[in-house]
Structure 1
Amino acid sequence: METTFKDFYDTLIENLECYAGEYESFIDYGPKLFKVLCDLLNSDVDKSLRLVISAAIGYYVTPVDVIPEQTYGPYGYIDDIYLSSHVLKMVADVHGYGFIAKISSPDIEEIIIECEVKSLEILSDEEIESILAYIGL
């Protein structure tokens, strides 16, 4: 019997595809941001950013983070989305948004900015500090 394993990206999409709540407009970007982070590791991204990108990917996968999905459902992805947008902005500061767009989509800059702005409206300063401290930033 052959077993097929799902990619974590597919699991994210599956977890969020039926979500129709208050934060739907940007929580739906979670899987895309995860994929961009993963794809950056297969690019010529600056060596100094690889560890931070890997930490952001690991944060998605960690079952118990600052706002765990098991407890809060889709709302639990807001911290993951914030961290992703924060790290992707770090990449853009070094390489520019065009670099990220080449491996993603032309509208990635708008998506990153929207996700950061909306997550910052929801998260407290204490939560933001905890999220960044969790991965050592």
Structure 2
Amino acid sequence: MNKEDFYQNFREKMRKWLATDEGKTNKFGEYLMFAPDLFHLLCKLSLDDAVPVKEKAKLAGAIAYFVSPIDLLPEALTGPLGYVDDIAVAAFVLNGLVNNTDKSIVEKHWAGDGDVLQVIQSIIKGADDMLGSGLWAKLRKKFQ
């Protein structure tokens, strides 16, 4: 399976879940739909020569966290809700990248809906609610 197929399959899987009764009533559904887009963005940016090496290391950490079966909210146990922590980590790392480089680098690789900068800020603002302040603080510390 190529990278684009993985991305499209991930998006379709999330769309299907969001169409279920559980997905429709989940208060974090709007954030969860960004999971495939954020993962795709992390991967694209990690390959971009315009991204500084220090930032690429953070991107690699966020990608590893996304795909790891062992994280704070494992998808194998929690289903799509397990992506909430992955989304928060991705937004945190991407926000740092936007603050330390030209934001157009991030914008050019965004394949999702809406303004990527607004998506990142929205997720960061909602992270306390999604994860709880204690868990969110631990994740931020890990990825600074």
For the superposition of Structure 1 and Structure 2, which TM-score range results when normalised by the shorter chain?
A: 0.7 to 0.9
Is the CA contact 2:88–2:127 (under 8 Å) kept in the aligned structure 1? yes
Distance 1:136 1:42, change over 3 A: closer
CA RMSD of aligned residues (A): 2.0
Q: Distance in 1 between matches of 2:95 and 2:42?
A: 11
8 Å contact kept, 1:40–1:103:
yes
Q: Return 5+ residue gaps in structure 2 as ranges.
A: none
1:123 aligns with 2:131: yes
Matches within 5 A, 1:29-108: 29-43=34-48, 44-104=50-110, 107-108=115-116
SS of equivalent residue, structure 2 residue 69: coil
Query: Size of the alignment, in residue pairs?
Result: 132
Give SS of 1:17's match. Answer: helix
CA contact (8 A) 1:85 1:113 kept: yes
What is the identity percentage for the equivalent residue pairs of Structure 1 and Structure 2? Answer: 23
Change in 2 beyond 3 A, CA 1:12/1:132: farther
- Residue 33 of structure 2 is matched in structure 1 by 28
> Structure 1: 5+ residue runs without aligned partners?
none
* Offset, 1:15: 3.3
Deviation of 1:53 after TM superposition, in Å, equals 0.3
List per-residue Cα deviations over 1:61-97 (Å, max 9, x = no partner): 0012001111111111110000000000010011132
Task: Judge conservation of contact 2:94–2:120 (CA < 8 Å) in 1.
Answer: yes
